[in-house]
Amino acid sequence: MFKRMIPNEFVQSIYEIDLNALQRRGVKAALVDLDNTLVEATRPEATPELVSWLDQLRGMGFKVIIVSNNNLTRVSRFATPLRVPYIHQAKKPLSAAFRRALNRLEVDVTETVMIGDQLLTDVLGGNRLGLYTILVVPVSRAEGVFTKLNRILERLVFWWMKQRGLSGWEERK
């Protein structure tokens, strides 16, 4: 039941992702969630560290797109100054936005990673399509109502993974 919610990797933050390993896997594009993956949901703009990470990603030849369930105003105000394309109101985990992102970047599922902080939206959506998925620890504990509800189910999934020796991430907060 929960198998589609198991990410390929768990990392503490986007900054711990081994970009060279992704390249060796043939990954050419990154779909990234915005809120609590790249920055706190309340932060209106990118941090200098995030700008450097995005520059490194693009400098290595990766294509990048933000895929967010948030609204146009939030996502566009964040992504436009960074010159990062985006899809807002993505309705993750549904597949339509993921497919649009792949088409926009002109990449195949086997060449793409989905990076996000939620099992029920980012990981489930990416896995349903066959993307390589990386789950990061949320940047902040401040979250919206729907995310808080998702976190309740996530705890059940993490318990299930732990029972099977799959989590490898006991310190997740």
User: Is residue 10 situated within a structural domain?
Assistant: yes
Specify the pTM.
0.85
- Secondary structure (3-state) at 31: strand
Res 120: pLDDT: 86
User: Is residue 170 situated within a structural domain?
Assistant: no
User: Is residue 135 situated within a structural domain?
Assistant: yes
pLDDT 10s per residue in the chain (173 long)? 567 778 999 899 999 999 999 999 999 999 999 999 999 989 999 999 999 999 999 999 999 999 999 999 999 999 999 999 999 999 999 999 999 999 999 999 999 999 999 888 999 999 999 999 999 998 866 666 666 677 667 776 666 667 666 665 544 43
User: Is residue 153 situated within a structural domain?
Assistant: yes
Res 119: pLDDT: 86
Res 12: pLDDT: 92
Res 6: pLDDT: 85
Res 152: pLDDT: 66
Res 5: pLDDT: 76
- Kindly write down the DSSP assignment for every residue of 59-77, as one continuous string: HTT-EEEEE-SS-HHHHHH
Boundaries of domain holding 122: 3-163
User: Is residue 172 situated within a structural domain?
Assistant: no
Residue 124 is classified by DSSP as: H
User: Is residue 168 situated within a structural domain?
Assistant: no
Residue whose C-alpha is closest to residue 114's, from 3, 4, 8: 8
Q: The CATH number of the domain where 112 resides is what?
A: 3.40.50.1000
Res 173: pLDDT: 39
**Tally of domains within the chain:** 1
| Amino acid (1-letter code) at residue 166 | L
Res 171: pLDDT: 44
User: Is residue 97 situated within a structural domain?
Assistant: yes
